Amino acid sequence: MHLYPLFADLKQRPVLVVGGGVVAQRKAAALRRAGARVTVGAPRLEAGLRDDLVLGLVSYREGRFDPSWLDQAWLVVAATDDRDLNATVAAAADARRILVNVVDDPALCSFQVPAVVDRSPLIVAISSGGAAPVLARRVRERLESLLGHSLGRLADLARRHRGRIRARHPGLAPRRRFYDWLHDGPVAALLRDGREQDADRALRDALDQPAGIPREGRVTLVGAGPGDPGLLTLNALRALQDADVILYDRLVGEGVLDLARRDAERIEVGKRQGEDQQATQARIHDLLVTKARAGHHVVRLKGGDPFVFGRGGEELEHLRAHRVSYAVVPGITAANACAAYAGVPLTHREHAQSVSLLTAHCKDSLDTLDWPALARERQTLAIYMGVARLPMLAEKLIAHGRDPSTPFAIIENGSRPEQRVICGRLADLAQQAGQHQVRAPALLILGEVAALAPKLGWFGAQCTPGAIWQHAA
């Protein structure tokens, strides 16, 4: 190893920061967060450090560096823009065997300040030995996305119960198995859901059970977004990487599934045209309960958001009725994502003050809609699953007073490499959709804001009214 990694306990220990600028303030703040008593030395202080001084957060030595400033210091940071001065500080610290860090000058450092992922009391530090700080930062960013903030609470919970865990599992192998359960099972899930008292109770119950580690399954309902894996939320990513079983819809793309845990069981449960929809949904309900009761973490992965035309509520009702624990991770719904990727703002101060999300999956759903209200101007309609009903949609809206020249945009495969956008007027909606052979998945946006697609679109080639705008794969 080029460097010896260690974590320093600086609580109530004096440290020195040489420099009075923005970088010095940043270094002083990080040291204070570790509990150090920080003294800043410089001829003058910039505004941020002056404020810290007034608040009593730092002490101040005014003037140019003097080696006597190092008296009592446990370590020192040189954060000036004068390399000769930084070298002088480093030499004085080395002479006294005090660890020194010189900002952006690894050759003068006796210790490096790593990139840090803070999930206190869990701390992850990343260092490249000063050779590639940008790479270290990028690794930190990757870890930030993988390590949830609840890990700190989990570490603290394990610390508080450490004595009981050792007493209950004196052997190393069973103790390791218990910690694996603690980190991967319902206690960690409860902490992620913000239920700290329930998590503590679950851990206590597990320690009181004579039968060993309990196996309690659970379900996480996860919104996969519209297709672009980059739109997956961090919580969704973590759920996928923790899943034992994944039940996924047909429209969930391979790019999203590629982010899941490699050895998870994957079961496609998407509904297809012509199938008995109720029977398919009943099978999904049965699988969720059966797999969870077998002790698995089941991820129910849905396109878009599970609570927007995703039957997520029905699935939670079924889980609750069968006493299966669950959590929900929202996703970016198709209306938001497809509109954004097509350059269509769903609301606009000059054009639309409201948005209605509708489904046109079947004729019965269309018959229940308030057509006079939907036909009013200055509102946006975002219509899901409506490809087969476009002629009827246009006919009813025009019949109830919507202007036939109202702009529309159909976004097919929104946010995916094969996305295409078809623009036109309401009167031509059915004809344009037929001419361009629109296929699901497609979202229809109707309203004055749709006219902005040719002007504001950014994903793919330019769109013009009455023409296709298709992303160049």
Residues that are catalytic:
249, 271
Q: Which two tokens stand for residue 332?
A: 């970016």
SS3 12: coil
Q: Which residue has the tokens 């690894």?
A: 106
Beta-carbon contacts of residue 443 (< 8 Å; ≥ 6 apart): 334, 335, 338, 339, 382, 383, 384, 410, 411, 414
From the list 191, 210, 472, the residue with the least C-alpha distance to 327 is 191
Rounded Cα distance, 398 and 263, in Å: 52
Count of beta carbons in the 10 Å neighbourhood of residue 59: 13
Query: E strands, 33-153, where?
Result: 37-42, 59-62, 75-78, 99-102, 115-119, 122-126
Contact yes or no for 259/253 (Cβ under 8 A): no
DSSP-derived pairing of the beta strands 325-329 and 355-359: unpaired
- Establish whether the linkage from the previous residue to 441 is cis, with ω within 30° of 0: yes
The amino acid occupying position 52 is D
Handedness of CA 332, 335, 338, 340 (dihedral sign): negative
Burial of 361 per CB tally in 10 Å (0-12, 13-18, 19+): middle
Beta-carbon contacts of residue 162 (< 8 Å; ≥ 6 apart): none
Reduced to 3 DSSP states, what percent helix, strand and coil does the chain have, rounded to the nearest 5? 40, 20, 40
Region of 343 on the Ramachandran plot (φ > 0 left; ψ -120 to 50 alpha; else beta): left
